[in-house]
Amino acid sequence: MGSIGDSRAIMASKDLHDSLIAIQLTVDLKPDLPREAERIKRCKGRVFALQD
């Protein structure tokens, strides 16, 4: 599996009752998530929000 851009990989599976469930295979890397913001800052990047 490859990932490019702002996309999410999800796999459909069945649970014990044969109902479909969604399983998220990738992690969103958005700068508003604390862990991702810290990673960006450690790499000498900046995280900020623009005002409308």
Q: pLDDT band at 45, cuts 50/70/90?
A: very high
Q: What is the pTM of this model?
A: 0.54
What's the total number of domains in the chain? 1
User: What distance in Å separates the CA atoms of residue 7 and residue 4, rounded to the nearest whole number?
Assistant: 7
Domain that holds residue 18: 1-52
Written as one letter, the residue type at 30 is K
Per-residue pLDDT tens over the stretch 12-21: 999 999 999 9
Which residues touch 37 (CB under 8 Å, ≥6 apart)?
A: 31, 47
Per-residue pLDDT tens over the stretch 18-31: 999 999 998 888 89
User: What distance in Å separates the CA atoms of residue 20 and residue 43, rounded to the nearest whole number?
Assistant: 40
